[in-house]
Structure 1
Amino acid sequence: MKLFYSPASPFVRKVMACAIARGIDDRIETVWCDVHASPPDLLAVNPLGKIPTLIGADGIAYMDSPLICEYLDGIGPAPPLYPTERGARLAALRLHALGHGVMEAAVARRGESLRPDEPARSAAMARMRDAIARTLDLLERESDSLMGPFTIGSITVGCALGYLDFRFGHEPWRETHPKLAVWFESAAKHRAFVETMPVAPKHP
């Protein structure tokens, strides 16, 4: 399998964390790419020009991290990250939606921060910051749902928190979310998170 990636992307991190959790990361070849340069090899398999994009073992291109993670969950003998029982599956998918939403807001806020300062930019960044804060408050109240074996939900929340540390480390969240902080401290010791720490992108 081949994964088009950038080492700073929390969506890429989610994919690789899932692969590690399932013990199949050694089957994935990573290909660094700069999406802003519209690399032809990426566009040839994903017309959206986005990462992550995975070329599966079946030769099909899978784009967007939720689809890629579900594809990977069917490979190998490890317990599923997407539970089969309806209640557990919905709980995992709900956590996934919350974590994925935090990542989307944080990535968008990061992008806005690189633009020239203007009122519209500041207002957009404030909305994204507030959305993240509200979601962290909810995850703090429901931190018990993160306990137990990893699911697609808990992995996604972990990647979201890691991205906040990476891009917005000057805005600490742990003091006001102590239960979430305790869970993340434990989860971050797993190889799925240790080996996927985000780094500033640069050409190999």
Structure 2
Amino acid sequence: MQLYASAPSPFVRKVRIALIELGIEDRVEIVSTVPLDDPAYRAVNPLGKIPALRRPDGSVLYDSLVIVDWLDQTFGEGRLIPRDAAARNAELHQHALANGVIDAAFNATSELRRPEDLRSDFWLGRWSEAIVAGAAALAAEPPVRFGLGAITAAVAADYVPFRLGQLGLDISGLAAWRESLGARASLEATAPHREFA
């Protein structure tokens, strides 16, 4: 299998953590990809986004949730996303909340990369509010097991200060929960400041 990836991407990181947690990272070749610099990448993913996973049969999956779900169904027997309907719903609910924090942080990061005179204070404010509110909601009901919800919440907790530290956003509750996870191998190996090994 091949994972088209960029090391700092929080969406890629979710998949890389899942690979480690499922014990299959050695079955996947990381293909370092910068979609904006590679127009041919649209032949892999027509949306031009990462991550994308080429499966053994040559077919390609995109979107981190779809990729992790397939990996977990194929190799994890529901370890990351439970198969029971109620538990699956709860896991996906936590994932959606944490992923929303990541989406808002990603959008704010993109906005801050624009020339200063073209930036939108309105959208930076909206995304900042979403990050703080989402982080508080996650901290109020943190994941109790290390599944997809916890993976995504940990990625969010690390990504916000990594990319948006200068904004001083209060995600202290989520950061404290993240700290409680300690030095988990999958989180350490995929930290956003690390390049691919």
TM-score, length-scaled by structure 2: 0.90
Q: What's the counterpart of residue 71 of structure 2?
A: 72
After TM superposition, give the deviation of residue 34 of structure 1 in Å: 1.2
Q: What's the counterpart of residue 187 of structure 1?
A: 181
Q: What's the counterpart of residue 24 of structure 2?
A: 24
Larger helix percent: 2
Contact 1:163/1:198 (CA < 8 Å) preserved in 2? yes
Q: Does 1:168 align with 2:167?
A: no
Q: Which segments of structure 1 move beyond 4 Å, counting only runs of 4 or more?
A: none
Q: Equivalent residue of 1:54, what SS? A: strand
Q: Does 1:147 align with 2:144?
A: yes
> Within 5 A, what are the aligned runs for 1:37-116?
37-40=37-40, 42-76=41-75, 80-116=79-115
Partners of 1:77 and 1:120 in 2: CA distance: 43
Query: CA-atom RMSD, angstroms?
Result: 2.2
After TM superposition, give the deviation of residue 59 of structure 1 in Å: 1.6
Contact 2:8/2:192 (CA < 8 Å) preserved in 1? yes
Q: What's the counterpart of residue 127 of structure 1?
A: 126
Unaligned segments of structure 1, at least 5 residues: none
Partners of 1:43 and 1:85 in 2: CA distance: 36
Contact 1:4/1:52 (CA < 8 Å) preserved in 2? yes
Contact 2:5/2:32 (CA < 8 Å) preserved in 1? yes
Contact 2:104/2:127 (CA < 8 Å) preserved in 1? yes
Q: Equivalent residue of 1:30, what SS? A: strand
What amino acid maps onto 1:181 in structure 2? A
Q: Equivalent residue of 2:74, what SS? A: coil
After TM superposition, give the deviation of residue 169 of structure 1 in Å: 2.8
